[in-house]
Amino acid sequence: MLRTSIPAPPCLRQARTLSRCARGSVDQGRHRPMGKFVCRVIAQPLTADAWAPFGWLPVADTDPGDGKGRLSFAWGDPHVNVIAHRADEIERRDGALVCGEMFRHDSHTQALLVLDARAVVAVAPGGHPLGAPGDAGVIRAFELEPLDAFVLHAGTWHWGPFPVDAETVHLYNVQGRRYCEDNMKVDVAAVLGEVEISVAQPDAMPAR
């Protein structure tokens, strides 16, 4: 089973030992009772400019920019399948989705096409260690609609995509077949504090 951010047996995960909590995000952090720091990231529309630090967006074959972005597989193992993420894989709190962990794959790019449900993905630059105070501030989140497609640069930290309203979102997925051997993980809650992803309701979302 190939997942964008949810590993499964028998794949072995390479976990990083990181410490300390961080402040910051698109929205200002706040404290819950008992002093626990919470950072809320507001999901934004998926646009080429906003996505550029994390990857690139496929374009029509008639677009002059077609072919500028290229897939890469250092291990020569490109693989395509259909994957799914379920609503019950993550915690939801106060109308937001909790980002508990993020993953990265340094050996390959990853391309995804949302097939059937509104979803959200969170990302952080691959060159960032996500291990020092304030690192939650580099996390960004993007709203996704069915047929939205995007490519993750090799090494980009990611969480999801997870469904916003539906029970399940299915995704057309192109990534390295041996991704489970290259699956760096960071425990967001333990390292950065609690990170919540907020997504606008459909009637409040700007037209694309």
What pLDDT does 205 receive? 54
- pLDDT for the residue 18: 30
Alpha carbon 116 to its chain's center: 18
pLDDT of residue 25: 35
Place of tokens 């390479």: 14
- Up-side HSE of residue 73: CA atoms within 13 Å toward CB? 14
Listed by start position, the domains of the chain span 20-57+74-201
Mean residue pLDDT of the chain comes to: 84
- CB-based contact 186:102 (threshold 8 Å): yes
Mean pLDDT of 128-157: 92
In terms of C-beta density within 10 A (0-12 exposed, 13-18 middle, 19 or more buried), how is residue 154 classed?
buried
Quick one: 20-57+74-201 is in which CATH superfamily? Jelly Rolls (2.60.120.10)
pLDDT digits (tens, 9 = 90+) for 22-74: 323 345 444 454 446 678 999 999 999 999 999 999 999 999 999 999 999 99
**What's the pLDDT score for residue 113?**
99
Query: What would the 3-class secondary structure string for the chain be?
Result: CCCCCCCCCCCCCEECCCCCCCCCCCCCCEECHHHCEEEEEECEECCHHHHCCCEECCCCCCCCCCCCCCCCECCCCEEEEEEEEEHHHCCEECCEEECCEEEECCCECEEEEECCCCEEEEEECCCCCCCCCCHHHHCEEEEECCCCEEEECCCCEEEEEEECCCCEEEEEEEEECCHHHCCEEEEHHHHHCEEEEECCCHHHCCCC
pLDDT of residue 100: 94
Whether pLDDT at 20 is above 60? no
- The pLDDT of residue 38: 78
- Model confidence at 97: pLDDT above 70: yes
Local confidence band at 84 (pLDDT 50, 70, 90 cut-offs): very high
Q: Does the pLDDT at position 91 exceed 50?
A: yes
pLDDT > 70: what percent of the chain? Answer: 78
pLDDT at 201 over 80: no
pLDDT band of residue 77 (cuts 50, 70, 90) is very high
Give percent of the chain with pLDDT exceeding 90: 66
Tens-place pLDDT, residues 113-135: 999 999 999 999 998 889 875 78
Amino acid 56 reads W
More confident residue, 40 or 203: 40
Count the Cβ atoms, other than its own, within 10 Å of residue 43: 23
Burial of residue 123, with CB atoms counted within 10 A of its CB: 0-12 exposed, 13-18 middle, 19 or more buried: buried
